[in-house]
Amino acid sequence: MVIELESPVEKSKMVEFLSQVFIPINDRFSSIIITDEKGVQRWKKVEISIEDHIFFPTFPSSVQTLEDYDSLLDTYVSKIAMEPTSEGLRPPWEVHGFMYPTSNAKGTVVFKLSHAIGDGYSLMSALFTIYKREDDPSLPVTLPEFKPRPIGGGGLTRWSRMRSFVSMWVNTIRDSGLSLLQATLLEDDKTVIRSGKVGVEFEPISISSVTFSLDQIRHIQDKVGGTTVTEVMTGVISYAIQLYVQRTGQVSNGAARMTALVVVNARMLRGFKSIAEMLKAHIWGNHFSLLHVALPSTSCEDLNNFDPLEFIIKARDELRRKRNSLSLYFTSRIWNIISSIKGREVAAGYVHAIFKNTSISISSLIGPSQKMVIADHPISSFYYTVAGVPQSLIFTIVSYMGVIHFRLAVLARPCQLEMDIYIYTLG
């Protein structure tokens, strides 16, 4: 996670914050992964030295402009994102304090957290727990609620309920089978957004960004009706990819298979939960699942006369069909069964194969509505990205104080996709 601050980073405050606030929130922040005599991996609590986990990079004094520091920060974040964490030697997390001003902040703090500690929901909930509200530190942070706009009214008839039940099981069988095939035999086509190259997760990456307001999302919701933020953003991404494909001249003509993996929280609890609540319910750690969403495509000629909102509608319908399914539960159970029989590394390989055989992944998070403070440093904005995923294009989306921060992790080459997204949302 990259946190942009309204004041310069103070070393002493960051060190004190990590030792007295951050580490105590969960034992995993002071534990390492070991393998016992039975070959079972488990967490072992160890003595921890803050100096081994916090870094303050320095750069030549010849660097003077904010644009130069922007470039240095982007390069630095991309570099540390690709470096492996020292699992087994010390707890797998690091904090980097960028003590130089950029165009967006007076200082920047980067949390690098291993997925072994927990999934995005666990880690973000942990950080939200220790952040303080600037207006009143005694109050907890609150998250905005986004509910689908109703498409129609009226209750379901008995026949409709029966049809919905049958549809749910048909979708479950179809989607669960697709997940198994995607990890074994089924693979997306090689396109301008998917190289299919072995070891792509070890290639240098570049992080691009787009920022816009939640009002723009609400404006699109008003036009379409009955959509969630995730549905809108998936549709936006689908349309932007088609614009990018057209720009590069590699038009799919509707024939190329392109699949997005939408990362979803598989926990039964809804909304933000504190660390104590997650630990009590035994839902700390990795409890996520994946929705396989076919990206709608069209030919270059059709795209010129195509209503972009149709991409939103298609994404909405596809995601709702996927949610009217128990495949998320069965897929999660399959992972657990593989892990218990074959071990965690085999289960991780199964998940790795699913990502490798698909085109893109989308991860989103609703952030706090109020301005937050970390170690007495007011936070102007923050975003996160995921590294080590065998894909050439990864989308992460987070909201904060009514603003959407949209990040693209791409292979380190020029990419105009973020401009296509921006053009669409403004339109």
The whole-model pTM stands at 0.80
**Backbone angle region of 402, left / alpha / beta, with phi > 0 → left and psi within -120 to 50 → alpha:** left
Q: In what order do the strands lie in the sheet with 377-383?
A: 54-55, 93-98, 107-113, 2-5, 377-383, 372-374, 132-133
Four-residue CA torsion sign, 173, 175, 180, 182: positive
Question: Domains in the chain, ordered, with CATH?
Answer: 2-117 (3.30.559.10), 159-426 (3.30.559.30)
Determine the pLDDT at residue 248: 75
Q: Counting Cβ atoms within 10 Å, is residue 277 exposed (0-12), middle (13-18) or buried (19+)?
A: middle
- pLDDT block averages, 10 residues each, the chain of length 427: 92 91 85 79 86 89 82 87 75 91 92 79 73 84 59 59 79 79 82 83 79 83 79 86 76 68 65 54 60 70 71 84 75 72 74 88 83 91 85 88 84 53 48
